[in-house]
Amino acid sequence: MSQEIGVIGSPEFTTGFRLAGVRRFANVPDEEKAAQLDDAVEEMLDDEDVGIVVMHDDDLDHLSRTVRQNVETSVEPVLVTLGGGAAAGGLREQIKRAIGIDLMEED
């Protein structure tokens, strides 16, 4: 079972996670997102030690169609997005995909 948390994004985004002890990260400066973000995401998805990947919600717009589809359908590691348009409904779907059940499901 994968134990590590990985963070992908701008140096400003990843710094807080690094200070909290996250060791797996990929800094992708804003001006290089178009060229480097896909590679950083694919590398993190292929890392067997990573169980959760954290990204800023706005960065999803910079991914190619293929990589975005891989991220959205990945069960392990599961992608969690923060900020931007990541609303409670989006987080609910991420949790549902990660654990396989809807914890908020009404009877």
> How does pLDDT run across 58-92, given as a tens digit for each residue?
898 899 999 999 988 888 898 888 886 544 456 56
**Contacts with 7 (C-beta within 8 Å, 6 or more apart), sequence order:** 13, 14, 17, 18, 22, 24, 25, 26, 53, 54, 55
CATH topology of domain 4-99: Rossmann fold (3.40.50)
pLDDT for residue 37 is more than 80: yes
Q: Comparing 53 with 89, which gets the higher pLDDT?
A: 53
Sheet order of strands, 50-56 included: 24-27, 4-9, 50-56, 78-82
Question: Pick from 89, 72, 23, 79: which is nearest to 56 by CA?
Answer: 79
Give this prediction's pTM.
0.76
3-state SS assignment for residue 102: coil
Q: Is the pLDDT of residue 2 over 70?
A: no
